[in-house]
Each structure stands twice: as C-alpha cells, then as structure tokens.
Structure 1
Amino acid sequence: MKVYVVTLGFTPIGVFKDRETALAVSKSANGSLFGDENDCHVREFPIMSEPVVCEVISDAERE
C-alpha cells in the first residue's frame, strides 16, 4: 500500500490514498491558494505494514 503526500516546500498539506486526488489537490493549491507558485509536490511513500490499533488500559482496570 502507498500514500501520497502533497507538500508545499517541506511542509505537508495533505495525505491521500490515491495519486489522482493528490495531483488534483496539488494542482489546485498551486493555482489558487499560493498565487501560481509551483512549490507544491506530490511524494509517494510506501506503507510497510497495516496500522495497529492498541487498546489503552487504565491502572484501575489492570489491578
């Protein structure tokens, strides 16, 4: 699985599961939000494993 991060310089502004959405956000951010600057980029990051959800157990429950 991969995620696509839209960045402005080195600052992430969005994380998306599909490349098309990330490209659309990047293109629209370049034109409208930041005054036609081409600083937005889409970077691809692989996810090595599925996220693990951990349950928090309070001290009272532990005893």
Structure 2
Amino acid sequence: IIETCSFAPRLELFARGARRGWLVWGNQADDAYEPTWATYSHNSAAERRQLDQLAPDSD
C-alpha cells in the first residue's frame, strides 16, 4: 500500500532486511536477512531470491 501511494525514498524504521526503494534502519537490517518461517510471498528477501535464481552460476 505504501509503495503505491507514496513517492520514494521511503523509510522503514523496524526493518529486518533491505528492500529496493527503501531506506532501512534496524538492528537486523542487512542484505543477508532471510525469513526462516512461512511468510507472504513479497517479503524483503523475495526479490533477491528471484535475482539469484536468474543469475548464472559463477562456478
């Protein structure tokens, strides 16, 4: 809802993970955050997982 009615930049004060278009602040706000429980499909790590799946292996 916030993304559809507010212009960037946006600030999340209780962030657990980074999200494109948002400034994040919180003691768990880093790029390595990954939810370990069942959650909604558009969580903060979902976009990163999609990009990782599309990227070719560097091995």
Structure 1 length-normalised TM: 0.25
- Identify the structure with bigger relative contact order (alpha carbons < 8 Å, sequence gap 6+): 1
Answer 1 or 2: which has greater strand percent.
Answer: 1
Q: Larger C-alpha radius of gyration, 1 or 2?
A: 1
Answer 1 or 2: which has greater helix percent.
Answer: 1
